[in-house]
Amino acid sequence: MLNIVIFGAPGSGKGTQSERIVEKYGINHISTGDVLRAEIKNGTELGKTAKSYIDQGQLIPDALMVDILASVFDSFQDSKGVIFDGFPRTIPQAEALKVMLKERGQDISVMLDLDVPEDELMTRLIKRGKDSGRADDNEETIKKRLVVYNTQTSPLKEFYKGEGKYQHINGLGSMDGIFEEICKAVDTL
């Protein structure tokens, strides 16, 4: 199976590129953001708990996220693989994901790091907030999310380099050019 972690700061294009990867390679997509937003919209207990963290620009507790991911992962029948979008975000989450996959005879194939400068991320996220109405895409929350990314999430690059799974992708340029670079990385697996 082709199991991909798509990685990058908020606004780096993970969702956009994930859709293209899913279409080209026929794998399933698990977006933790989409899963959590659905829970919030439906007013579930998980959604209420998640909303309190998200509103403060904080990460959801690891055990909760791994349980959610395992449930979604297990729901895919005859899957060719999965792209994990928005998870893992910390080294303990990466370790928990590795254990969860190993229990199912699986592993991560590659971690694609969409690298985008912070000033461009801010521009993209503010525009996305205006276009989509997403409440967490405002300047104050974006700054908090980028601090969390830089302190807690960015160290994952070294984790996946150590696993031999890391692949740098230049996240600037046209969507097609970025996707072409992603395909080159995936096609070598």
Identify whether 134 is a catalytic site residue.
yes
The residue annotated as part of the active site, out of 14, 51, 124, 165, is: 14
Residue 86, pLDDT score: 85
What is the pTM for the complete model shown?
0.85
Question: Is residue 33 part of an annotated ligand binding site?
Answer: no
Q: Is residue 104 annotated as a catalytic residue, yes or no?
A: no
Long-range contacts made by residues 166-174, C-beta under 8 angstroms, separation at least 24?
A: 166/111, 166/113, 167/110, 167/111, 167/112, 167/113, 168/113, 168/115, 169/112, 169/113, 169/114, 169/115, 170/115, 171/8, 171/12, 171/13, 171/114, 171/115, 171/116, 172/116, 172/117, 172/120
List of domains in the chain: 2-187 (3.40.50.300)
pLDDT at 6: 96
Q: Is 174 marked within a binding site?
A: no
In this prediction, residue 63 carries a pLDDT of 81
128 is catalytic: yes
Average pLDDT over residues 181-187: 97
- The response to whether 133 counts as a known ligand-binding position is no
Specify the pLDDT at position 182. Answer: 98
pLDDT digits (tens, 9 = 90+) for 60-114: 788 878 887 888 898 898 899 999 998 898 899 999 999 999 999 999 999 999 9
Q: Taking a C-beta distance cutoff of 8 angstroms, is the pair 40, 50 a contact?
A: yes
Tell me: is residue 145 an annotated ligand-binding position: yes
Instruction: Tell me which of 20, 48, 124, 128 is the catalytic residue.
Output: 128
The pLDDT of residue 75 is 86
Query: How does pLDDT run across 112-135, given as a tens digit for each residue?
Result: 999 999 999 999 998 888 888 877
